[in-house]
Amino acid sequence: MDVRDIYITEYDLRRLKELLQVGIGYAGRDRPSLESLEDELERAHIVEPAAVPRDVVTMNSRVRLTDMGTNGAKIFTLVFPSEAKVEEQKISVLAPIGTAILGYRVGDTVEWHMPGGARTLRIEEILYQPEAAGAYHL
């Protein structure tokens, strides 16, 4: 799969780096997720919150995804680990799917790994993006 450009707001980058600093010290079984997030942040284009494209998945964005293997649709909100609630479709940025979609755009296809193997998802729509709504500090 091609590596595509990803976009992160300065505000999200700062909070995600804090998460990494704390998390790496206590990583244990989550270390691969933290390292994957760290890799994504290192290659991201950093933009002002007001300048982030409206079709980019940012923190607290609600997105509609299509599982390319099953053609099933999923809707998730990308959140920090403390806010994750699967029953409310809030997924952590440290979950493989969360790290996979962060910073990508509508139309992008991303691959994420789970115990049963790799899955491919297409980002179909941003239902809510805080920056597009003028909420720059969610």
pLDDT tens per residue, range 97-122: 898 899 999 999 988 777 778 889 99
The domain defined by 7-128 folds into Chitinase A; domain 3 (3.10.50)
Whole-angstrom CA distances from 109 to 8, 36, 67, 132 are: 18, 17, 10, 22
- Taking the model in full, what pTM does it have? 0.83
Return the domain boundaries, the chain.
7-128
pLDDT tens per residue, range 9-46: 888 888 888 888 776 555 555 667 777 788 888 888 89
The percent of residues above 70 in pLDDT, for the chain, comes to 88
